[in-house]
Amino acid sequence: MHWLETTQVSTGIRESTLMFPVLEGTHLLSVTLSVGLIVALDLRLLGWGMANTPVSMIFNQLRKPWALLGFAINMITGILLFWSEPVKCYTTGSFILKMVFLLGTGINAFFFDRYVYPSVDAWDNKLVVPARAKFAGGLSLALWAGVIFCGRWTAYF
């Protein structure tokens, strides 16, 4: 981590007047885009909103294109932010916990996409979705809350 922090890219980002704030601002805005749209799907799965909107419509029109775009921007800016302060990130417990939560969101999304969503035709328009879908939505909300909380916590160390 020390070697990475002494590279020209790391030093350039860290010492730039504008680069770090622009990266951080873009990172936070892309979190809003990606997680905000994922939350819309999660709330629908939990039966807490958009009861008249088919799950597949939310999935295909919001989560697939826009949330994934936000997530891609988030990953790029996150890697650059990490690159600017790898020692701090590596030694901060909240950053490690954020990465664990982030891994959890990926595993949850994989299982939802692979094992729950393929049967959406049977429950697409129902207010009460199968327990597996509801569990995936609730777990997603909890994991993303952990990612965001730990990410903000890391910023103050």
The predicted-structure confidence for 133-156, as pLDDT tens digits, reads as follows 999 999 999 999 999 999 999 988
Amino acid code (one letter) for 15: E
The per-residue pLDDT for range 21-79, each reduced to its tens digit, is 999 999 999 999 999 999 999 999 999 989 999 999 999 998 888 998 999 999 999 99
Cα–Cα distance measured from residue 10 to residue 44, given in angstroms and rounded to the nearest whole number? 41
Q: Which residues, including other chains, have CB under 8 Å from residue 89's CB and lie 6 or more apart?
A: 1, 82, 95, 154
Q: Does position 157 have pLDDT exceeding 80, yes or no? A: no
This prediction's pTM: 0.91
Q: How confident is the model at residue 9 (pLDDT cuts 50, 70, 90)?
A: very high
Packing angle, helices 8-15 and 19-46, rounded to 10: 90
